[in-house]
Each structure stands twice: as C-alpha cells, then as structure tokens.
Amino acid sequence: MQRRQILQAGLAVAATSPTWCWADTWPAKPITLVVPFPPGGSTDLIARALSTKLAEKMGPGFTFIVDNKAGATGTIGAAQVARAPADGYTFLVSSLGPFVIAPHLIKANYDALKDLDPITIVAQAPNVLVVPAASARKSVPEVISYLKANPDKMSFASSGNGSSDHLTAELFWLQTGTSGVHVPYKGGGPVMTNLLGNQVDCSFMNINTALPQIKAGKLRALAITSAKRSPLLPEVPTLEESGVKEANVNSWQAVAAPKGLPADIKKRMFDAIVASIKDPAVAPKLLELGFELVLNTPEQFASYQAAEYARWQKLISARNIKAD
C-alpha cells in the first residue's frame, strides 16, 4: 500500500510540476493551424507560410496542417480552438476580428480574453484612406471640411459591418465630429470595384489591398492609420499628421492556442514562429505586402489584446454598431 501511495504521489507531482516536460513526447500526430476565414486572404497566406516554415524550423516529426473553418466573422473557427484540448495540437491563426471585435457584435461561443492562450502577434498592417483618382478631395483636411459642410453626403465603403475598415471610418467620424454614409459590402472585392468605378467616395482600405491601385494611379491615398508613415507610401501622411488624434488602427494577424497550453510547448512554438516569420523566404514577402513584423511575447500580446478589446467594445457601443 505504501509503495502504491508513493508512486501515485510521484505521478501527481510530475503532472503538476512546472518542470514536467510535455514537449518530450510532443508531437505524436500532426498539428492543426485553424484559420477562421476562407482560403486566399491575408490570414490564410500567413498560416500557410507558417505551416511550411514551422515544420522546417522544428525538425523531423513535426507536420502542420492548415484547416479553414470560416463563418460568423471568424468566431466559428475561434470557438473550435477555444474548445479544443490544450495539448499543443490545435492553434488559431487569425486576424484581430475574433480576438477583439466580433465578440462585441455577435454571440460568440467563447470568451476571447479567457478561453484563448495568446502566443504572438505575427504582423500588422495599417489601413489607408483612399479616394478615386478623379476625386476632388486631395487631403484629409479637405475631407473634414467637406463633411462638416455636407453632413452625411460622402460615402465610405467597407467590407462589411464591424470590419476593420468600417470601424476605422466610425472612429474617424467620432474624432473629427463629422458624419458620413457607411456603405457596407460583402468583402473587399466589391469595395475596390465600386471605388474604381466612382460609385462610392472613399474607403479606409487595408494597405495590402489598396497598394497596387495606389501605385497604378487609380486610387489616391490621403492618409495612413498607423502611428508612423509606411515605407511603402512614404509620401502619405498619418492621420495624426493630418490633424486627427487617437485614430491609429492596425489590422493584425496573431497565433493563439486553447487556454492552458503547457509552458514548454508555448515556448517552443513562440521561438519557432519568430524564426519562421524572420526567415528570408517569408519576411520580405510580408513587408512587400505592407505588413510590419511584430512578434511580441505572449505577455505583451495578452496586454495588447485586452486594451484593443476594451477600445473596440467602447466604440461599438458608443456608435451602436450592429453586425450584418
């Protein structure tokens, strides 16, 4: 009896001790990267780059599979990860929506701050206020002056209610004391088509979507929503330089796990993600698309997520924003 009790006590200590190394037996099967959006977008691009490079960086025995679980503005895939065992076999690769925006707009079957274990924000990209090349508005002050003289006469297109481009417009109106007309579309494609066709006046488009048409001279960039100018558009001022305070917005891509991921696995994943994103085959491509590498620590990610969660909750409530 005494021998059995000693053995049971030893196993209990091993299971709870911070020195217990789950990574010694990990992985025993393929690791899934859940993308809560359809294939082809920025999040999917980053996840697929990670799936290849993580396998290279972590060595033999590691296989990564990308699983697209789209729906409900990303919350279906995020909920799947939140409900999964915290054993190192399921990770979420997602933009900011499921982390800090969507839970304020729809019923999400998870708590974004409590049910996910943050690992790192991989990269971020600002939005750009763009108008058609033929637009009479050539600067942010001109846009503000027009809106003040003509309330609700200028249309702002977005990829959908509650999207980053929509919320940026709402923040812009709030900070400038103006009002425009929000025109939501189902995705960025129709926004671009109607902007180029002069059917809408402007949009806060993501830089990697807008950049080709800006470079081609078909869209005019008036301001960028980051804290500093983009090296890809060095001549374009920030919103703050244009007189709009506290309106910095970045769309970011991050990796998280189910809450309770063993510390040793989290450390190995974090280190491998950093190495993968900094790889010469990956980093330059992301920079060319307008992304800025972030790669903050899990603790920094958690703090930033909490602040962003509160920020967007406040704006969504104040502006009475509803989901599609």
Write out pLDDT tens, residues 31-65: 999 999 999 889 999 999 999 999 999 999 999 99
Distance in angstroms (rounded) separating the CA atoms of residues 271 and 290 = 23
When mean pLDDT is compared across 13-27, 200-214, 302-316, the lowest value belongs to 13-27
Q: What is the pLDDT of residue 320?
A: 93
Q: What is the pLDDT of residue 150?
A: 97
Contact 94, 253 (CB under 8 A): yes
Distance in angstroms (rounded) separating the CA atoms of residues 203 and 169 = 8
Distance in angstroms (rounded) separating the CA atoms of residues 323 and 239 = 26
Distance in angstroms (rounded) separating the CA atoms of residues 155 and 176 = 16
- In this predicted structure, the answer to whether residue 24 has a pLDDT above a threshold of 80 is no
Torsion angle, alpha carbons of 314, 315, 316, 319, to 10? 120
Which residues make Cβ contacts (< 8 Å) with residue 222, sequence separation at least 6?
A: 128, 129, 130, 131, 137, 138, 139, 140, 143, 202, 236, 242
3-class SS of residue 94: strand
Contact 290, 85 (CB under 8 A): no
- In this predicted structure, the answer to whether residue 2 has a pLDDT above a threshold of 60 is no
Distance in angstroms (rounded) separating the CA atoms of residues 280 and 118 = 25
In terms of phi and psi (left: phi > 0; alpha: psi -120 to 50; beta: otherwise), the region of 290 is: left
Contact 154, 144 (CB under 8 A): no
- In this predicted structure, the answer to whether residue 109 has a pLDDT above a threshold of 70 is yes
pLDDT single digits (tens) 245-295: 999 999 999 999 999 999 999 999 999 999 999 999 999 999 999 999 999
Q: What is the pLDDT of residue 322?
A: 87
Task: Please choose, from the candidates 64, 115, 74, the residue with its C-alpha nearest in 3D space to the C-alpha of residue 94.
Answer: 74
